[in-house]
Structure 1
């Protein structure tokens, strides 16, 4: 049962796009509820299984060694609780732009403004990270192609896909994500064949002794394990896309709970399974951090065809994750415009039902990655993901606190919720403590320190923007 809303004026809803001055906008329509459960699950997988696993995992491994497996399990547990907090609200009120809308309704106008714009900023940074590494994968076949050219080409391609109907987008993302999921399963199977039977390795079974033969299972100690959590949490960023899809799901109160429970388990299986195989086959301290560890392992074992196939997969994964990011950004601008927190032109949909202006605006900002790749080739990735992680932590913090306020608002009606946050409110405080610890740890990693500067500046900019918006509305 859906919890009743309090009396009094409500924030702008999903089905009534508004002018900033309050009246309905006759030129806009409603988002189409065309996404099936299979679309939603693969969109979430597409957002979460990308650069963080295929490229960024090399830096995490260098910090913790084989113990990175423990870090992924711990990080997965944190993300699961965050997703359950979001899922509780999404099932109760399935709308597009979930984070912003729930913060607006349960916390206040500034919380909605901050949450929406911060999520948009988060996925701009994530999308930039995906575009930055696209050129690295293309260079596997065409070393002479500049990194920025590859980034620009995929930027245009993905933007065009997001301007078609949401059903077409869902199909595109479904098959793109399915490719990398199938490839990860195949890679795990191939890796197990090498571990057990030496297939492709001259019949010499590698076994799993590499997990402890090079300094032990925890070669860098507990501190190295803790530091790796910074990179690991970035890897899980994107699974919260399930909340964004709620406004376009055909049966959200059934599909959202299924998607949340299943997608977290599957991501854990893929991450832990793939990295287990990778570390068992090849010594952790000999991986090259400048390329995908998946590709480098099979190249060094002499399995060239497998390395080529895996490079296709990691390229697909990056494009898929960027595709999911651009989708979410267009919908977030749509939701912000409904609330009056963004220009109302972002509520306008094209004939296919896509918030085309929001998609184009987000794509133009993301194009900064192309410029950065041109100016600083090969040096952008770590700085971009550090900013993305800071914005992601702010998003997750907002989700967990908003869910606490949601429970306080509905009071005893919480017993009627169809999909509940487990161990509330203790799980909320545990997640907040873990996220705070990760922010502290970021200060000990040089490439992540810029994010500790960018974060407060971004918060201050949003505060100033909100004040300016309020004064403009008062003047009108």
Structure 2
């Protein structure tokens, strides 16, 4: 697919520019997992959460290199699911496609739940389901207009998040150098050594911190889903993936370190954003409200991205299929998967029901379930890359190849497998991981029935 091609073979219009892709890639790594979920991670692991972010970030970079090679090997494909169908079989592709779609739906529900928590900073008596429901209606309207409008919106949200985190890190660095104090005491590295030291919660706490950290990175592969609507994907996708390590260090590690320099790890609350707590502690007037506005914009941004992804995934798994379901969701209106977007938004809109049933634990349960499903999907993606390399002659490989193939593939696959075992062993995450496995099994049974009926 050349730079001049205005559409993909399925009818997508290539309207996303280099700036769009770069900012979507950057903004996609900064969401509720960082702004809200990091409080839970710090509570679990103490200061060692910094090391967890580095470890997970490294393996997610390996995953993205593998996925980048797949995407650039065939720019006519809409999503990763088509690669899975080609190299692992249609049955696995069917299962993964719907599991992936359900995962994006659950992520959108998690963001909607987080929005309710954020708005309670200003409106303590506002029902937590109201902000999310209003948001999903507005975002659906925007996504139904054009992909470029989505890109422009994400561009704006990403700039807000990036500028805020950079400003936050520089502010805490200034307080550190000048000997500044907050309501928690002096800003300094001493907070990393107090209250039990770097590994304050021991091995169990360190391992328990992985779930929410992984959730923080969920959605990082969104940049691959934009390839079908990118004006010059061979350049932009490659650049976005290669810059991932820098984004991880700057926007995760430095930001969390800044929080811990201000607030002792054991005094960070899990019911509100640690960024709001840290800035509020500096005594800067209205700082808490400013950062709360930013974390709200981050949640809206993530919800927007997840709706975008979910709509395109349901289109991808039903594209060119037969039957009423496939005909309804497997074609485009004005180069957009409108029916898929509407269905996905309606399902995300069920988040209030989860909040009513589960209460304050809704965010933790939904985020844990999302993490569990993505771990399964990431394993299948690595297996797809391994199969692609085995089936593709050396002279037909793209020049953007997975480094140290196949050993880094095996190492990454082993890491994701260990994370699945870890979540099954942790009581707080066990039910969510079991739920993800059950969903996979149900989809497998449905796919068997589906393909048997079509064979008759």
- Tell me whether 84-93 or 367-376 shows the greater mean CA deviation: 367-376
Aligned to 1:361: 343
Say which of 150, 158, 161 aligns to 1:177. Answer: 158
Counterparts of 1:278-297 in structure 2, within 5 Å, are 278-297=259-278
Decide whether the 8 Å contact of 1:257 with 1:419 is kept in 2.
yes
Aligned to 1:418: 399
Decide whether the 8 Å contact of 1:41 with 1:263 is kept in 2.
no
Say which of 108, 111, 117 aligns to 2:92. Answer: 111
Aligned to 2:388: 406
Say which of 352, 376, 391 aligns to 2:373. Answer: 391
Say which of 442, 449, 455 aligns to 2:423. Answer: 442
Aligned to 1:345: 328
Mapped to 1, the partners of 2:274 and 2:182 lie a distance apart of 17
Instruction: State yes or no: 1:299 paired with 2:293.
Output: no
Decide whether the 8 Å contact of 2:375 with 2:416 is kept in 1.
yes
Counterparts of 1:35-434 in structure 2, within 5 Å, are 35-95=16-76, 97-199=78-180, 201=182, 205-340=186-321, 343-351=326-334, 353-413=335-395, 416-434=397-415
Aligned to 1:7: none
Equivalent residue pairs, number: 450
Residues 95-140 of structure 1 show CA distances to partners (whole Å, capped at 9, x for unaligned) of 4542211011112111221221111111111111100010111111
Structure 2: stretches of 5+ with no match in the other structure: none
Q: TM-score, normalised by structure 1?
A: 0.90
Structure 1: stretches of 5+ with no match in the other structure: 3-12, 17-29
TM superposition shift of 1:243:
1.2
Decide whether the 8 Å contact of 2:157 with 2:298 is kept in 1.
yes
Residues 145-188 of structure 1 show CA distances to partners (whole Å, capped at 9, x for unaligned) of 11011121111111111111111110011111111111111111
Decide whether the 8 Å contact of 2:34 with 2:252 is kept in 1.
yes
1:377 aligns to what SS in structure 2?
helix
Mapped to 1, the partners of 2:247 and 2:112 lie a distance apart of 25
TM superposition shift of 1:371:
1.7
TM superposition shift of 1:14:
5.9
Mapped to 2, the partners of 1:464 and 1:346 lie a distance apart of 22
Decide whether the 8 Å contact of 1:246 with 1:252 is kept in 2.
yes
User: Runs ≥4 in structure 1, deviation > 6 angstroms?
Assistant: none
**CA RMSD after TM alignment:** 2.1
Decide whether the 8 Å contact of 1:34 with 1:166 is kept in 2.
yes
TM superposition shift of 1:296:
1.4
Residues 24-73 of structure 1 show CA distances to partners (whole Å, capped at 9, x for unaligned) of xxxxxx01111112212222333321111011111111122111111111
TM superposition shift of 1:223:
3.5
Decide whether the 8 Å contact of 2:42 with 2:265 is kept in 1.
yes
Mapped to 1, the partners of 2:38 and 2:320 lie a distance apart of 38
Aligned to 1:26: none
Mapped to 1, the partners of 2:21 and 2:431 lie a distance apart of 34
Mapped to 2, the partners of 1:207 and 1:222 lie a distance apart of 25
Decide whether the 8 Å contact of 2:180 with 2:187 is kept in 1.
no
Q: 1:223 to 1:447 in 2, by over 3 A?
A: closer
Mapped to 2, the partners of 1:473 and 1:390 lie a distance apart of 31
TM superposition shift of 1:348:
2.8
1:423 aligns to what SS in structure 2?
coil
TM superposition shift of 1:262:
1.4
Q: TM-score, normalised by structure 2?
A: 0.94
Q: 1:180 to 1:54 in 2, by over 3 A?
A: same
Decide whether the 8 Å contact of 2:319 with 2:331 is kept in 1.
no
Q: 1:14 to 1:471 in 2, by over 3 A?
A: farther
Mapped to 1, the partners of 2:19 and 2:92 lie a distance apart of 32
1:343 aligns to what SS in structure 2?
helix
Q: 1:97 to 1:198 in 2, by over 3 A?
A: farther
Mapped to 2, the partners of 1:396 and 1:111 lie a distance apart of 13
Mapped to 2, the partners of 1:136 and 1:386 lie a distance apart of 17
Residues 233-269 of structure 1 show CA distances to partners (whole Å, capped at 9, x for unaligned) of 1111111001111111111111110011113421332
Aligned to 1:25: none
- Tell me whether 466-475 or 143-152 shows the greater mean CA deviation: 466-475
1:140 aligns to what SS in structure 2?
coil
2:226 aligns to what SS in structure 1?
helix
Decide whether the 8 Å contact of 2:379 with 2:417 is kept in 1.
no
1:380 aligns to what SS in structure 2?
helix
1:443 aligns to what SS in structure 2?
helix
